Structure 1
Amino acid sequence: MTDNTYLNALLGAVATVLLSFTGISPVLGGALAGYLEGGETNDGLRVGAISGAIASIPVLGILVLVLFVVPVAPDAGVVLGSVVLILGIIALAFAYTMALSAIGGVIGSYVKREL
């Protein structure tokens, strides 16, 4: 891990958010972070995953705000079931973004080594 790992991950996260219209933005943001980081495959994997985690924070914050602040139903059982479902969806979204960003990080580090 270099001194710039978190900066590279932050730049990759910003790219992920800005390129969200593409549909593959986590891969592109992770690839940018991996390219900037350089090094071995593990370095790209690590910085890509960190980039995905950082990029997930705003989305997770909005999901939590909308889904927990808006009342679901007056019945406690329905609310509990909804909370479990919502937490599962949030965990899957977080894992999806981190995994694709990590793959992008590996691709970025590979491209950096080959150029």
Structure 2
Amino acid sequence: MVPNDPSSGGDATPMLSTADRDDPDADSDGFLSPGDDSPADPVDLLLYGVLGGIAGSVLSFVPFATVLGGAVAGYLCGGRSSDALKTGAVAGVVMTLPFVAMVAFLLFFLGFAGAPAEFGILALLVIGLGAAYTLGSGVLGGYLGYSLRGRL
């Protein structure tokens, strides 16, 4: 009795090897595959990083939106895992820009009100910590998006 021969009463489904079952690219023609170990184009890194940064900024009312923005960027990018990290970093920088602009705007007006210099130093420290958090969580999200790319 042959297992794949329908005439012999066997199962009509083809047998898949372990490599075929574990390959997320087997039946998808490369669409949404985790990457083919070829580096992504720098234009793709910037484009998907900006898209992920915009998504994270729009979702800023959601907890951990910076991770979500980086995940969107890493998911869309493809390529190698290092490309997803770079794209997540670009998304983190893009998500940091509105925060920096807001603080700079407030400091500009407080400077006219005669705020002490210590306030400016504290504001720069807050900007630095906020940027580090946003950049780091964007990179983390980029890696998470890359790892989820072939699984969803």
Give TM-score scaled by structure 1 length.
Answer: 0.87
8 Å Cα contact 1:72/1:79 also seen in 2: no
Separation (CA, whole Å) in 1 of partners of 2:80 and 2:140: 13
Is 1:107 matched with 2:144?
Answer: yes
Structure 1: unaligned runs, 5 residues or longer:
none
Residue in 1 that maps onto 2:94: 54
1:89 partnered with 2:129: no
Residue aligned with 1:54, SS: helix
**Greater CA radius of gyration, 1 or 2?**
2
Please state whether the residue corresponding to 1:4 is helix, strand or coil: helix
Deviations 1:46-97 (A, max 9, x none): 11011110111111101111123224874xxx72211111100011111111
Q: Does 1:79 align with 2:116?
A: yes
Q: What is the CA RMSD across the aligned residues, in angstroms?
A: 1.8
Supply the distance in 2 between the matched residues of 1:99 and 1:108 (Cα, whole angstroms): 14
Moved over 2 A (4+): 71-74
Structure 2 partner of 1:19: 59
Give unpaired runs (5+ residues) of structure 2.
Answer: 1-39
Shift of 1:31: 0.3
Whether contact under 8 Å (1:53, 1:98) holds in the other structure is: yes
CA distance in 2, matches of 1:114, 1:46: 21
Alignment match, 1:43:
83
Provide, for residues 92-115 of structure 1, a one-character-per-residue CA deviation record: whole Å limited to 9, x for no partner.
111111100100000011112446
Amino acid at match of 2:118: G
Q: Tell me the number of residue pairs that the alignment of Structure 1 and Structure 2 aligns.
A: 112
Cα separation, 2, equivalents of 1:102 and 1:10: 13
Question: Does the 8 Å contact 1:38/1:108 carry over to 2?
Answer: no
Determine the C-alpha separation between the residues in 1 that align with 2:84 and 2:58: 20
Amino acid in the other structure paired with 1:4: D
Paired letter, 2:58: L
